[in-house]
Amino acid sequence: MNTAIIQSLTKDFESHARKTENGVEFWLARDLQHLLGYEKWDNFVNVISKAKTACEVSEHAISDHFADVGKTIQMPKGATKTIDDFMLTRYACYLIAQNGDPRKEAIAFAQTYFAVQTRKLEIIEKRLLETERISARKKLADTEKELSGVIFEKTGKDKNFGVIRSKGDQALFGYTTAEMKKRWNVKTGRALADFAPTIILKAKDFATEITIFNAKANQLKTAHQISNEHMTNNQSVRETLIERGIRPENLPAEEDVRKVQRKLKKAEKKELKNPISLERK
């Protein structure tokens, strides 16, 4: 998610923030529904219900964070109608966002925006980038697991996956996995991908997805065939990156993704331990 999108979303979410008489920040559920991209109110009410349950499980009073309010809207011929709505604290909004699909930009943004108590854009941006990297790492792990299954199905051997993945790394980086670990100071026994930048995680995932697709579509039956396919795909991705001025082997290693994940969870727990209620600052 680039800075321009983050700035735009920040402006949208902040423009809908309101305050109670005692200065407590809140959002109306009808506004949040549209900010998060939910078209139908009934669907959004179901998400609110799940968020209320999560609030109760975390031992916070639902009434402190979800207040029922009515909203009057204009109807044809001058008539009016009162519809349901909720006043939601930042914590309530966070719980609602947690039930959404983080692949959608607005929801991924909201999950971080409402978890961070400060409004500093750089903090929001940094956390979103870290969250995106964690998500990319998980996606690559899932894709590689699928490729491992395909290889076993085609060849009947588990060990072929490691060899094929290593050849893919060499095609992508121009160095073997072991050589890249030395360049990035990755300890023995740790996965190279745990220290890869997001762009590399996505590049590896894309190449692996193509390998899976073609292995199935073209009925590749041997480890040699799948290995050649995987090398070709990684080489193609490498060429694309280089054309765009990115040399994979020259990118610096990132912080251990496991460490980043632990850090985010710790920060999130700390920030959400004592959420501000509708009754107090």
Mean pLDDT per 10-residue run, the chain (281 residues)? 82 88 86 91 91 88 86 67 85 89 87 72 78 94 95 82 93 95 93 96 97 94 93 97 96 95 84 67 47
The reported pTM is 0.62
Per-domain residue ranges for the chain?
Answer: 3-114, 131-263
pLDDT, position 280: 54
The pair of three-digit structure tokens given for residue 137, joined into one six-digit string: 């790492």
The pair of three-digit structure tokens given for residue 79, joined into one six-digit string: 């008539």
Buried b (16+ CB within 10 A) or exposed e, 184-222: bebeeeebbbbbbbbebbbbbbbbbbbbbebbeeeebee
Per residue in 144-195, pLDDT tens? 999 999 999 888 876 788 899 999 999 999 999 999 999 999 998 999 999 9
pLDDT, position 122: 65
How far is the C-alpha of 144 from the C-alpha of 68, rounded, in Å?
47
pLDDT, position 207: 97
pLDDT, position 281: 47
pLDDT, position 5: 84
How far is the C-alpha of 73 from the C-alpha of 48, rounded, in Å?
21
